[in-house]
């Protein structure tokens, strides 16, 4: 006697399943925020075509359900780091896409439906010297970004009253904020369903094959379906379906504390060129990041937490963020992001009828809506 349903062999599809599931006009692989937003844009553009979103697992495994909820565009330090890695132009281009994406998301769904809190974002530094390396470049950054942000986005600000153990000078970005991740995902899902998008979970696409004007999707369930157009919105896992895509898995880790009653600050915070971030969640704190402590170890598809990174996050909390405060850990989790040397997302047609919108890095919340518009725009009527 098998111990659970999962131990039973997968049955053959019935005649009815085959009828219903034979072919779709458009299949989106991945029910994360990029897949859902893309399905919404596609249904708007092609209301008569069937649009299916398939996901291999319950969508709670998607990075889109496992993130920290920062609605941010990139701190000044991170933009300067990006400029060093690629170019100032590419750093500004990314900033603009994130800015446009978040604006579009807020316009479309409204702040209440996203749980958006306009708290502003702080960038913290270990020493005054480190702070001034960035502060000294704010004037030109602000001038260059004014046209995108509609204001000078970065202001130096005294940070002493926050009670943290960082340099007294910080940088404040008034337009950043935070969302409640579950509210955003609920809103995206409800809108997609209300427009007639069909959402199927537990459907792992194993392989893709071109067949005339169709793409044949080989499902782990043991049978195939066909679609005229296939959109890969499958994050880091996309390289398993299309190895030409330059996406690498990068694990992100997070922990949430118990309530800290006299928490002296609210808002979102970044340090270490964006590799460390924390935010208030009511009187709890969420802290995440630390990937730069062990790049090679965090280059993995395994979404379990690891002791050294969690210990680093705890150390940062105890020694720098809320020194002397009492708290317990309430939650710890990890999720998988898609990264590469370049921080630009991939939005492209791979072959006729096969398109990809992947590699949101650590800022998919802001980027996703912009990517979805561009991606849906690539499909010819």
The phi, psi pair for 165, rounded to 5°, reads -95, 70
Contact 73, 176 (CB under 8 A): yes
Using the rule CB under 6 A, is 177 a contact of ligand FAD?
no
Using the rule CB under 6 A, is 106 a contact of ligand FAD?
no
Using the rule CB under 6 A, is 260 a contact of ligand FAD?
no
300 CB burial (10 A radius; 0-12, 13-18, 19+) = middle
Using the rule CB under 6 A, is 29 a contact of ligand FAD?
yes
Per-residue binding letters, 30-69, with ligand FAD (x by CB under 6 A): xxxxxx------------------xxxx-x-xxxx-xxxx
Using the rule CB under 6 A, is 13 a contact of ligand FAD?
no
Q: Which CB sits closer to ligand FAD, 52 or 70?
A: 70
Using the rule CB under 6 A, is 267 a contact of ligand FAD?
no
Using the rule CB under 6 A, is 75 a contact of ligand FAD?
no
Q: How far apart are CA 60 and CA 132, in angstroms?
A: 41
Using the rule CB under 6 A, is 252 a contact of ligand FAD?
yes
Q: Under DSSP, is residue 1 helix (H, G, I), strand (E, B) or coil?
A: coil
Q: Which CB sits closer to ligand FAD, 167 or 356?
A: 356
Which pair of structure tokens corresponds to residue 88? 């100032």
Using the rule CB under 6 A, is 134 a contact of ligand FAD?
no
Q: Who contacts 15 (Cβ-Cβ below 8 Å, separation ≥6)? A: none
Q: Which candidate, 253, 247, 278, places its Cα nearest to that of 342?
A: 247
Q: Which CB sits closer to ligand FAD, 56 or 280?
A: 56
Q: Which CB sits closer to ligand FAD, 30 or 153?
A: 30
The phi, psi pair for 154, rounded to 5°, reads -115, 130
Q: How far apart are CA 167 and CA 196, in angstroms?
A: 52
Contact 339, 248 (CB under 8 A): yes
41, 346, 362, 372: which one binds ligand FAD (CB under 6 A): 362
Using the rule CB under 6 A, is 188 a contact of ligand FAD?
no
Hey, how many other C-beta atoms are within 10 angstroms of the C-beta on 179? Answer: 26
Hey, how many other C-beta atoms are within 10 angstroms of the C-beta on 96? Answer: 16
CB of 378 to ligand FAD, least distance (A): 16
Q: Which CB sits closer to ligand FAD, 34 or 80?
A: 34
Q: How far apart are CA 233 and CA 315, in angstroms?
A: 36
Using the rule CB under 6 A, is 339 a contact of ligand FAD?
no
Q: Who contacts 87 (Cβ-Cβ below 8 Å, separation ≥6)? A: none
First to last CA, the chain: 52
The phi, psi pair for 150, rounded to 5°, reads 75, 5
Q: Which CB sits closer to ligand FAD, 159 or 336?
A: 336
CB of 286 to ligand FAD, least distance (A): 9
27, 188, 241, 316: which one binds ligand FAD (CB under 6 A): 241
Q: Which CB sits closer to ligand FAD, 34 or 170?
A: 34
169, 234, 280, 310: which one binds ligand FAD (CB under 6 A): 234
Q: Which CB sits closer to ligand FAD, 169 or 278?
A: 278
Q: Which CB sits closer to ligand FAD, 64 or 306?
A: 64
Q: Which candidate, 39, 58, 72, 56, places its Cα nearest to that of 360?
A: 72
Residue numbers at the binding site for ligand FAD (CB under 6 A): 29-35, 54-57, 59, 61-64, 66-70, 204-205, 233-235, 237, 241, 252, 254, 288, 335, 337, 358, 360, 362-366
């Amino acid at each position: 006697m098998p111990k659970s349903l999962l131990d039973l062999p997968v049955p053959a599809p019935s005649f009815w399943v085959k009828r219903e599931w034979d072919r779709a006009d458009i299949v989106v692989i991945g029910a994360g925020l990029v897949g859902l937003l893309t399905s919404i844009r596609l249904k708007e553009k092609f209301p008569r075509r069937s649009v299916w979103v398939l996901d291999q697992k319950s969508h709670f495994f998607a990075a889109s359900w496992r993130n920290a909820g920062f609605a941010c565009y990139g701190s000044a330090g991170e933009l300067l780091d990006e400029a060093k890695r690629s170019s100032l132009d590419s750093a500004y281009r990314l900033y603009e896409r994130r800015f446009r994406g978040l604006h579009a998301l807020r316009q479309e769904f409204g702040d209440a439906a996203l749980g958006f809190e306009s708290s502003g974002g702080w960038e913290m530094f270990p020493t005054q010297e480190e702070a001034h390396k960035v502060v000294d470049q704010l004037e030109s950054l602000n001038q260059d970004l004014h046209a995108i942000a509609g204001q000078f986005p970065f202001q130096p600000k005294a940070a002493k009253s926050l009670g943290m153990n960082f340099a007294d000078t910080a940088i404040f970005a008034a337009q950043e904020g935070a969302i409640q991740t579950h509210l955003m995902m609920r809103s995206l899902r409800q809108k997609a369903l209300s427009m007639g998008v069909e959402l199927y979970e537990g459907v792992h696409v194993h392989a893709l094959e071109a067949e005339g004007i169709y793409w044949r999707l080989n499902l782990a369930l043991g049978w195939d379906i066909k679609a005229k157009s296939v959109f890969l919105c499958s994050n880091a896992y996309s390289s398993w379906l299309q190895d030409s895509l330059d996406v690498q898995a990068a694990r992100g880790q997070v922990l949430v504390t118990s309530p800290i009653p006299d928490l002296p600050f609210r808002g979102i915070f970044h340090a270490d060129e964006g590799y460390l971030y924390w935010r208030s969640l009511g009187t709890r704190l969420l802290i995440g990041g630390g990937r730069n402590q062990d790049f090679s170890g965090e280059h993995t598809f395994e979404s379990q937490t690891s002791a050294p990174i969690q210990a680093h996050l705890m150390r940062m909390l105890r020694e720098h963020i809320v020194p002397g405060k009492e708290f317990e850990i309430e939650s710890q989790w990890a999720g998988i992001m898609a990264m590469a040397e370049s921080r630009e997302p991939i939005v492209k047609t791979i072959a006729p009828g096969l398109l990809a919108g992947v590699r949101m890095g650590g800022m998919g919340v802001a980027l996703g809506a912009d990517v979805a518009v561009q991606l849906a725009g690539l499909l010819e009527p």
